Amino acid sequence: MWQKTRPYLLLLPAIGTIVLLFFGGLFDGLLKSLGYFPAIGETRFEMTAYTNLFQSSEFWESLILTIRVAALSSIFAAVLGAAIAVSLFMLKESSKSGASQVWHRLFQLPLTIPHLVGGYIIVLLFMQSGFLSKILASAGLIDEITDFPVLVNDPFGWGIILTYAWKEAPFVSLMIYPVLSRIHRSWRDVARVYGAGSWNFIREIVLPVMLPAWTIATFIVFVFTFSAFEVPFLLGVTYPSMLPVYSYQLYTSGTLADRPEALAVNIILAALTILLGLVVYYFSKRWNVLKGWD
């Protein structure tokens, strides 16, 4: 009996912490979003916060902006990350020198930089009085630095998208690259003998191999950018703001009455993330992406 329960008892402190902090927090948020707020004397359950949110244009604009920014960031990071991983893989296949290792390390550099610093780098590079606009103005490509497009603190969210694309692409490549190492060195020879050029080899062999890891990495990036706070707070505009910023604005508005709405935003974010996870899982099963590998 003791032997059987021992592993579970040993795991209890870690599991307890996770349940308390993660699920406890989520559960507390859910209760408060439903109006259960004993601190202000509210002990009934009602959907007012959700109804108010769904009726507010501010929420919908925030949601659209959040989806747009998360989707574009994920797509850019996924494409860029895959391009980096495939290039590194092809470089490693074709060269016997250590050049591919140097490039590999170089592409991993953004991983070591915190998101906030990444955000500041984008500000310094892409704002109208930034480095890039000054270079373009000095080169005579634009007349004034104000001719440079507004890419930072813009309503579309380009600054946020650029930051995440730059910051998450190495993460995507880091997820894909080890998977590519499963590709047998001789498969390239096989494919070539049977008429596949480089592009066909990538399309027929490399892409299917990396698809599961690529899908998962892109999903992680999407979920992260969907619920990330600091970069949208730094590089976004006051209105419309991304959902996490909108939630923060509501939470810190000065009135406790807004808090259920702020927490309802968080619950909606979590629900959408779970929903998206299920969709990705369904498609990855349907595409049969893992069949034959194990």
Partner 1 sequence: MSDLRIINIEKQYPQTKQQKDPAFSLQPVALTIKEGEFFSLLGPSGCGKTTLLKLIAGLIPADNGEIWVGDDHLTAVAPEARRFAMVFQQSLLFPHMTVEDNVAFGLKMQKISKRERLADAQSMLEHVGLGGYGSRFPDELSGGQQQRVALARALVAKPRLLLMDEPFSALDPSLREEMRELLRSVQKEFHVTVLFVTHDREEAFYLSDRIGVMSEGRLLQIGKPKEIYEQPVNVEVASFLGLKNIIRGTVANNHFISNDQSFEFPIQSSIQTSQSVLIIRPETIRPVSENMVEILGCVYFKGVIHHKIFSHGYYSVKVRIGEHLLICNFTSQEAEKMNPEQPIDLMINSEDMRFVNG
State the burial class of residue 214 (Cβ atoms within 10 Å of its Cβ: 0-12, 13-18, 19+).
Answer: buried
| Chain CA centroid to CA 26, Å | 20
Nearer to partner 1, 80 or 206 (CB): 206
The per-residue DSSP string of 133-169 comes to HHHHHHTTSSSSGGGS---SS-TT-HHHHHHHHHHHH
Question: Residue 253 has what DSSP assignment?
Answer: S
Q: CA angle 258-260-263, nearest 5°? A: 110
| Position 98 contacts partner 1 (CB under 8 A) | no
Q: Which residues pair with 42 in a beta bridge?
A: 37
| Position 192 contacts partner 1 (CB under 8 A) | yes
| Position 210 contacts partner 1 (CB under 8 A) | no
Nearer to partner 1, 4 or 96 (CB): 96
Fill in the amino acid letter for 71.
Answer: A
Nearer to partner 1, 105 or 291 (CB): 291
Span from 10-18, 104-112, 190-198, 255-263 in contact with partner 1 (CB under 8 A): 190-198
Span from 62-70, 106-114, 156-164, 202-210 in contact with partner 1 (CB under 8 A): 202-210
| Position 293 contacts partner 1 (CB under 8 A) | yes
Span from 43-51, 76-84, 131-139, 186-194 in contact with partner 1 (CB under 8 A): 186-194
Q: How far is the CB of 187 from partner 1 (least distance, A)?
A: 6
Nearer to partner 1, 154 or 204 (CB): 204
Q: How far apart are alpha carbons 142 and 137 in whole angstroms?
A: 5
Q: Which of 4, 109, 193, 238 binds partner 1 (CB under 8 A)?
A: 193
Q: How far apart are alpha carbons 36 and 55 in whole angstroms?
A: 21
Q: Which of 41, 140, 254, 292 binds partner 1 (CB under 8 A)?
A: 292
Q: How far is the CB of 104 from partner 1 (least distance, A)?
A: 23
| Position 93 contacts partner 1 (CB under 8 A) | no
| Position 41 contacts partner 1 (CB under 8 A) | no
- Determine contact, residues 209/289, Cβ cutoff 8 Å: no
Q: Which of 208, 230, 257, 270 binds partner 1 (CB under 8 A)?
A: 208
Nearer to partner 1, 4 or 291 (CB): 291
| Position 181 contacts partner 1 (CB under 8 A) | no
Tokens of 64: 């659209």
Exposure class string for 245-260: b at 16+ Cβ within 10 A, else e: bbbbbbeeeeeeebbb
How many residues of this chain interact with partner 1, rule: CB under 8 A?
22
Q: How far is the CB of 262 from partner 1 (least distance, A)?
A: 46
What are the Cα distances from residue 224, in Å, to 21, 66, 143, 150?
19, 11, 39, 25
Q: How far apart are alpha carbons 29 and 144 in whole angstroms?
A: 49
Q: Which of 54, 94, 141, 184 binds partner 1 (CB under 8 A)?
A: 184
Q: Which positions lie near partner 1, rule CB under 8 A?
A: 184, 186-187, 189-197, 200, 204-205, 208-209, 289, 291-294
